[in-house]
Each structure stands twice: as structure tokens, then as C-alpha cells.
Amino acid sequence: MSDETSDRRTGLRSTLASVGSERGRFAIGNLLSTNTETTGMTANSGSEAAETTAAERTTDVGADSGAEMSAADRPLGSPQVDNAIIESRDLDVFYGDTQALQGINMDIPEKQVTALIGPSGCGKSTFLRSINRMNDLIDVARVEGELHFHGKNIYDEDVDPVALRRKIGMVFQKPNPFPKSIFDNVAYGLRVQGKDDDIEEQVYTALERAALLDEVEDQLDESGLDLSGGQQQRLCIARAIATDPEVILMDEPASALDPVATSKIEDLVEELAQEYTVAIVTHNMQQAARISDKTAVFLTGGNLVEFDDTNRIFENPESDRVEDYITGKFG
Amino acid sequence: MSSERMDLSRNGNDVGTLGDRVARYAFFSCAFVTVLTTIAIILVLINGAVGFFRQATLVELLGDAVSAGSVDGAADAIGEGLAAQVTVTEFLFGTDWSPLIEPTSYGVLPLVWGTLVVTVGSALIAVPVGTLTAIYLSEYADERVRRTLKPILEILAGIPTIVYGFFALSFITPIIQFFFPQTGTFNATSAAIVVGIMIIPMISSLSEDAMSAVPDSLRNAAYGLGATKLEVSTQVVLPASLSGILAAYVLGLSRAIGETMAVALAMGMLPQITTNPLEEMQTMTAYMVQVGISDVSIGSIQYQSLFAVGLTLFAMTFAMNVLSMWVRSRYREEYQ
Amino acid sequence: MSTDTDGEFDFGGSAIERKRLYGKVFLGLCVSAAMVGIVALIALLADVIYESWGWLTWEFLTYPPSQVADHFVPENYGDLDTGPAGMYPAIVGSIYLIVLTAIFTLFLGVGAAIYLEEYAPDTRLTRFIEANITNLAGVPSIVYGLLGLAMFVRALQTGASLIAGALTLTLLILPIVIVSSQESLRAVPDSMRQASYGTGATKWQTIRNVVLPEAVPGIMTGIILSLSRAIGETAPILMVGAAVSMFTPPDLTSPTGAFSAMPMMIFEWASQPDAAFQHIAAAGIVVLLTILLLMNAAAVLIRNKYDRRA
């Protein structure tokens, strides 16, 4: 108990220290939050303390994660992983007065596929969009808590969302190629990021990796809008990987496609995981089971209920609600 | 170990944000020009109007005060400048407007009367015609008719007002003279008719927008109770879209008040208060045109009268625009 | 009265018959109201063409005006020492005026629209700016003329010049241009913006490379339609001091020089008591309306050519 009080005091101190630099709403959020931990402090003071705490709390997880996880909002399963590239800690997202995400704590492992599943409106897309700060584009969206990328909280004041998005790319639910040529679509990110040496080679490589080159090689000057839906989505994937990000976020990338196109996208996702970290939102549980290594299950109200290896989630989930959802009794 | 600290800052990643910040301020300045325009309009009108009621404008008074140096001198300069030239009462309630011919007189009421006659006259035409056209377009006409009729109304709205003035003189007035031979070349009726025609498109298209916004479920409910199309149109759609239609009327009338060239050409330049619509009258705008084309020296009281009349006109149209916005904002609430 | 039903129910009845009659009368009223606009347009065009018939010649387009009505009569052209009379300087003046106005509006109008659609936060200042634009659109054009007279001609010492006229017309059509450009920007799907941000583009890169190219056809259509309103405006340029008769076209290289414009010329002719000038005014109107027609056609062409989403 005394531990907890001291934790809270340091939390308060760090909050007060940050009042000057941060916007008021974050400070107020920290004060109100009952389970505020010293995440910022531990990140600053090295990870030894964090490691011990984490080790105490999770026996089955290796001890080299960057930030500890609070007990209160810890989902079932094993939300901390050894090779985390992204660590979400007590992440809340609000749209105006409604809270879309409640204290999300989970890691996303490097160069693996992490699936986010759950019924519609459960917040899985919101979580995905908070990873590369696409939520910043929504006026009323507000984020509290922390989300670490390579150990750096992306909601720190000194983080530029544009710089972040150059490392964390995104593919959207509906294919959204620009009304430009296929070549210019893929080259777009390279051009805006100033990576335009050998642009032709990079475009070809990206199309190749997106398994689209063979189909469009002779029509690179034609509009991206002339392609079929599945091809458009692979074009969008090529566009996202052309600039060589570390993480690719996919928001139900196959939901608008037919089964054949869907299976091509699924193959591609597995392929991509060899070089990239992939986080994919899907409402299709079979898809999640087929392609992902880890699965996070969000249920109503923006709660992350369980996070674990995909096999465990689908074969033997800890939560009854997750089991009901997986077996189709609910959702 | 993935906890090495990542540099995601602006500078560390060559995210060219200078252009971004410059663009933001440049675009804001463009938007702010509209605010400056409003401020400039108000200042220009008030400054000129002060000059009309006093002997010097605000700018001149301040200049005199500065150049006078001593406190006494400044006081004298301002005092001199503030000596009333035309009193506000004389301007607002005087019934004789004779600024260019001795003995001069500056009662604005004849001009307001002329404007009123045109506005009311044009409303008598445009309100029923515009409303019925809107009902036809929204409730009766099929897609093909709508596609023909709406562009025609748009063309009507796009014709320069000077052309309407010519049309009044060369077409409408001769017709009026055929029926009422005593009618002069310049008369209020002809002007009111063309201004009415001019604002029909505005009233019909805004009213139609309002009627189209009425949900079909309302219409179906009435049909289900055995109402005829006439009853649905007049007893369901019309009341439901009333505030949108009223806003359209107000905007149309505001446009009629500010209409210039057609009335300057067709209605004449004789300021008088008369109830005979076949006589020549002068509106506020027509007076401004009259001064605009005459060799009035800058700074003279005639020149300054432009701004006093302009301010009156601006105040009237501003009030109507605000009224229309208010009426419309009420109507938005109804469907959200 | 009820004849066409022979079942137990009476679907007719005098009350229903009367309602049907009212309905027909009302529909008749509506149709006639809708016809008023069409009839007025036809009458107006017919009147103008009839009045100008025989007066509109090539010489009318290429020669300076004259104070003497006879100089405009085609039959007299051969006998004139001074040559035929026309509205050449006014046509050139109007074109220059519109070109300058187009340049000013393009930057101001599109810039303001981009700010309001893409940048502006939902604050009271933004809402005030938007309400102010709505209100400005309802300010009578002659008031803009007073503004131009006091601000440009006098305060900024531009004199009664092309530049003063163009600036005045710019302020006049700015609200319409902003609103129509805003609509075009709003029509660009949000998914395009997200795609761009997703690849790590900055806001300005997104606007410049994705949003603007998509919105340009709509913006151009709006600007051309607004300019076609500006070219017919008489009151503002009259107040600014457009010359009633100029015998040489204005000089674009010295934009502070005097200028004439078509609507001003038409007003001058239409106010002449001499009946011959009515025909000359009508000829001028035909020229003005033709230019308007061409501008509108251009706007419609652009809209149709690029309207992929239709």
C-alpha cells in the first residue's frame, strides 16, 4: 500500500512538473486518473525499476520491456511481449465527451502480425489510428496516457506527427488511391518525404513487394482508379511500403473486397511481416486466426479484454466473454 | 532491446514545416481580408457620414487637431469642425431632398420612400411568383422539367442589372404607357416590375432548397391520411419550410433595396413622396449614381451626402441580412 | 356527380371533385408562375436583339465611341471623316478589368477558402469570419463602390483607375468565390487526405498535391461564374469613377490610368434621350451578354469535363 502511495506522489510530482510544458488537459487527466503511474519517470531513469515491477507482475513475460503496465487496466492474457516495438500504456481516447478507448495496455511485437478484433464500435480502429496519430486530424479527439514507439512516447510535446507517420504507415479500409497514375501513387510518399533518388527503382520494388508489379507493369501511367478493388488496395499497400516504414497499420484492408482479392491481401500481409511490423484491424475472426501472431480482443466500450498469442486466443481464451465472442455467441 | 529512444522531432526528421507555417498564415490573411473589408466599409461610411453631419470628417478633425499643436488651437479646430452642417433629425425626418439645387435640403425620406416603393412593388411580383415556382419545382415538376427550368432561372439571375434597366425602359415602360397613357418615361412601376423579375430566381431557388429539405415521411404521412397534392403542398410542406422561405423573402427584399442600375435607369432621378406608382421617383441607390456621374467635388457636402445615404442603405440591408440569417438558423434546428 | 364507380363505395362525390378542381387550378397557377421567368427571359433577349438589329457590326467592336449617334449607323460609315463609332475601348477595358480581378480573386478567394476548410479550428473567430462572409455577400454592390471610392481612389491615391476598379470588384465577388471554393474543397473525399497523411505528408503537402488538384475544376468554375457577375457590374465601377467615354483603350502597363468598361458605356448610352442611342445601347448589351454567355459556357465545360464523380 505504501508503495502505491509513493507511486502516486511521484506521479503527482511529475504531473506538476509537466504543467508548464504540456497542455492543461493532459495534466488534468493525470490528476484525475487514479492509476497514474510513473511511466514517464521510469522511461527517463532507465528500465531497471520497471523490469523488477514488471517481472513481479507478469511471470510469463521476459523482463526487458521498456515501460511497466498498471494492474488496474491490464487485460487478460499476456499483454507484454519481449520484442515490443510499440507499447501502449493506459491509453484513453475521447471523442468530445464520449470515451472511445479505456486505459489500453498492450504491446505490439516487432516484425510480427498483430490482429485487433472485436465487434464494431469497440474502439479497435480508434486504437489503430492512435498509433500513428491519425486521430490528431479529428478536431474533437483527445488522447491521454502514453504510447511508446521504440521507447519514445509519441504523445510527447516534441513529437511531430508527420515524422511519426513517416515511420508508421497506414492502409485504410476502403482502397483510396489518388486520382493520379499508378506510378505517381506509389511515388507520392517518396516525393513528399524527399526520398526521390532512384525513384523509379523504389517504385518498382514497392510494387513487387505488394505483389502487384506483374499485373500493372505495362500500365504504370494509367490512373490508379482504373484498377480493380483488390488491385487498388494492393496499390495502397505499395504506396505505404514504398517509403520503407517500420510499422504498417491496416484498418480492415480487405473488408471491401471479394474473397479472391481478400486472400491475396492476406498472403501479402504474412509476407510483409518478414520485414515490417504489421498491426491489422479486422472484423473477420478467421482472417485474424489465419494471418496473425498475436491477437488483441476489444469488446464494447473501448476496453481491451484479452491479448495473447493468436492460438491461445482462439483455442483457450481466459475470458468467457472473449470465448463467447470468438465462438459467435455474442457480437 | 527496443527501448532506445527514438527521435521523432520536427528538426531531427527533416519534416519541412516552414512552408507549412507560412502557408497557414498566408491563408489566414486571405480569410481575414473579408473581416477587414467589413471594417473598412463601416469606417468609410461612418467617416463620410460624420463629415456630412459636421463640417469635417473624423480623419480631417484628427488631422486638424494634430496640426493645430496647441491645446486651444486643437479645441478650436475640432469645435469648428463639429459645428452642425446637417442635423441628424433633419436628415432622418426631412421630407425634402434637394442636395444639388439651391436652396439645398437634406431630408432623406423621399429617397427612402422611393426605395420602399420599389421594394414593396417588386415583392408583390417576386414573392407569389417565386413561391409558386418553388412549389412547382419541389413538389410537381419531374426531373426533366427541373433540369430545364433551373438553368433558365440561373440565367435570369446572371443577367447584369444594367440590362434589366434597359429592358424596363425599352419594353416594360411602353407597355405600361399603352394601358396608362399618362405614364412618364421614368416611373416606379416599370422599375418595380424588373426588380421583381430580377429577384424571382433568388426567392424561388432558396425557397425550393427549404422545401426539398422537408422529409418525405411528412408528405407520406399526409398522403396516408387522404390529403391531396394541393393540401400536402400548402398545408404540410409550406408550413414545414416556412422559416427557410421567409429567409428567402428577406434576402430577396434586401437585394431589391440595394438594387441600383435598373432603378437608376427606369425610375428616374426625381426625389418625391407620392402614392402614384406611375410617377418618377428616386431611390437611395439612384441618388448615389446621380452624384457618382456628376462633377461633384471631393469633400463637398454633396460628396459627403453619398456616405450618409450609403450608411442608411448599408444599415437597412445589414439588418435584413442578419434577420434572414436568424430566421434560417431557426429553421436548421427544426430538422436536426 | 359520382358516376364512374358502381361498387358500394363512392370514390367520387362532389367534395372530392371540388378538391380535384382546386388541385388543377393550383397546378395551373404554379406552372404559370414558373413560366413567368421563362417568358421574361425570352422577352428580354428578344427585346435586346430586336433593338440592336442592324447596329451590331464588326466596326462597332473595333472603333472608339462617338458623341454623335449618326456615327454608329452602319450606312454612314463611308461618309465619316472620323471613321465609324463603336465600343472598342470599353470592351478592352472590361477585359483588362476582369483579368486583374481574376488574378486578385484567385489568390485571395482560394487562399481564404483553403484556410476556412483545411486549417481553421472550430472557434468563435472562425464562425465570425464565416458569418461575416455571408453578410458581405448581401452588401449592395454600390456600397462596395463607395468603399472603392474612399479607400482606393482617395486614401490609396490610385485615382479613378483600372486598378481601383479591379480591387473594388475583387472585394465584391470575394464572398461568392470563397463560398464556392469552399464547396469544391469540401467535395474532395476525406479518404484522399487521410491517404496522404498516412504516407507522412505534411498538411501543406497534402493540400498542394492532393486536395487542390482535385478541387481545381470546381474552384475554376466558381471563379469564372463570379467573374461573369463582376463583368456586368456597373454601380461599383461607376462610383470608382470609370470614364463614360474613352477614345483609346486603357493601358495595361499603367494600371493607374483612366478606364472605361462595357456596362458603364451601356449605362451612358441608355440614359441618352436620343432614341438612336437606345439601339446603340442594345448593341452594347448584345456584346456584353455574348461575353457572359462564353464565360458561362467555359465554366460549364470545365465542370463537365472534370466531373468524374458525377
What is residue B184's predicted lDDT score, i.e. its pLDDT?
A: 87
Query: Across chain B, how many H-helices and E-strands are there?
Result: 16, 2
CA distance A289 to C123: 46
Pair C21, C161 in one domain: no
* A37-326 is classed CATH 3.40.50.1820: no
Nearest-neighbour CA in chain A from B9: distance (Å): 5
Nearest-neighbour CA in chain C from B102: distance (Å): 24
B153 in Cβ contact with B241 (< 8 Å): no
B71 touches chain A (CB under 8 A): no
A158 and B8 in contact by Cβ < 8 A? Answer: yes
What is residue A44's predicted lDDT score, i.e. its pLDDT?
A: 38
pLDDT exceeds 80 at position C140: yes
Question: What is the CATH number for C278?
Answer: 1.10.3720.10
C36 and B133 in contact by Cβ < 8 A? Answer: yes
pLDDT exceeds 70 at position A65: no
Would C271 be classed as within a structural domain?
yes
Q: Which three cell numbers stand for residue C173?
A: 465577388
Q: What is the tens place of the pLDDT at every residue in C106-129?
A: 999 999 999 999 999 888 999 999
Residue C228's domain comprises 88-306
Angle between helices B18-53 and B301-334 (to 10 degrees): 130
- The HSE-up count of residue C20 (CA atoms within 13 Å, CB side) is 8
Q: What is the tens place of the pLDDT at every residue in A211-237?
A: 999 999 999 999 999 999 999 999 999
Nearest to A160 among B1, B4, B13 (CB): B13
- With bands split at pLDDT 50, 70 and 90, how would you rate the model's confidence at C160? confident
Pair C150, C48 in one domain: no
What is residue B226's predicted lDDT score, i.e. its pLDDT?
A: 84
B15 and A162 in contact by Cβ < 8 A? Answer: yes
Of the residues C44, C134, C211, the best mutation for testing chain B's interface (the one with the most B CB atoms within 10 Å of its CB) is: C44
C131 and B325 in contact by Cβ < 8 A? Answer: yes
**Does residue A123 or residue B104 have the better pLDDT?**
A123
Would C66 be classed as within a structural domain?
no
Count of CB atoms situated within 10 Å of the CB of C110: 25
Task: State the average pLDDT over residues A151-155.
Answer: 90
pLDDT exceeds 70 at position C94: yes
Pair C180, C38 in one domain: no
Burial class (CB in 10 A: 0-12, 13-18, 19+), B169: buried
| Lookup result for grid cell 432603378 | B263
* Least confident range of C42-46, C218-222, C245-249: C245-249
B14 and A194 in contact by Cβ < 8 A? Answer: yes
pLDDT exceeds 90 at position A182: yes
* Number of A–C residue contacts, CB under 8 Å: 69
Would C73 be classed as within a structural domain?
no
Pair C16, C132 in one domain: no
The CA distances from residue C72 to C261, C275, C290, in Å, are 18, 13, 20
pLDDT exceeds 50 at position A17: no
What is residue B64's predicted lDDT score, i.e. its pLDDT?
A: 74
Q: What stretches of chain C show up as alpha helix (H) in DSSP?
A: 14-52, 58-62, 88-114, 124-137, 141-147, 162-186, 190-198, 203-206, 212-232, 235-240, 262-270, 275-306
Of the residues C104, C105, C146, C174, the best mutation for testing chain B's interface (the one with the most B CB atoms within 10 Å of its CB) is: C146
Instruction: Look up the CATH number of domain B105-334.
Output: 1.10.3720.10
Beta bridge partners of A95: A98, A141
pLDDT exceeds 90 at position A36: no
Nearest-neighbour CA in chain B from C292: distance (Å): 8
What is residue B9's predicted lDDT score, i.e. its pLDDT?
A: 74
CA distance B241 to A254: 44
Q: What is the tens place of the pLDDT at every residue in C70-92?
A: 888 888 777 777 778 889 999 99
**Does residue C156 or residue B77 have the better pLDDT?**
C156
- With bands split at pLDDT 50, 70 and 90, how would you rate the model's confidence at A56? very low
What's the one-letter identity of residue A84? A
Would C3 be classed as within a structural domain?
yes
Residues 16-55 on B with a CB inside 8 Å of A are: 16-17
Q: Which residues of A touch B2 (CB under 8 A)?
A: 66, 83-85, 110, 150-151
Of the residues A81, A108, A150, A192, the best mutation for testing chain B's interface (the one with the most B CB atoms within 10 Å of its CB) is: A150
Domain residue ranges in chain B: 11-85, 105-334
Pair C154, C244 in one domain: yes
What is residue A34's predicted lDDT score, i.e. its pLDDT?
A: 33
pLDDT exceeds 70 at position A50: no
Pair C223, C267 in one domain: yes
C199 and A193 in contact by Cβ < 8 A? Answer: yes
Mean pLDDT of chain A: 80
Nearest-neighbour CA in chain A from B21: distance (Å): 14
Q: Which residues of chain B have pLDDT under 70?
A: 1-6, 11-17, 56, 80-84, 331-336
Domain count of the fold of chain C? 2
Of the residues C193, C194, C199, the best mutation for testing chain A's interface (the one with the most A CB atoms within 10 Å of its CB) is: C199
Would C70 be classed as within a structural domain?
no
C199 and A188 in contact by Cβ < 8 A? Answer: yes
Mean pLDDT of chain C: 89
Q: Which residues of C touch A163 (CB under 8 A)?
A: 200
What is residue C76's predicted lDDT score, i.e. its pLDDT?
A: 78
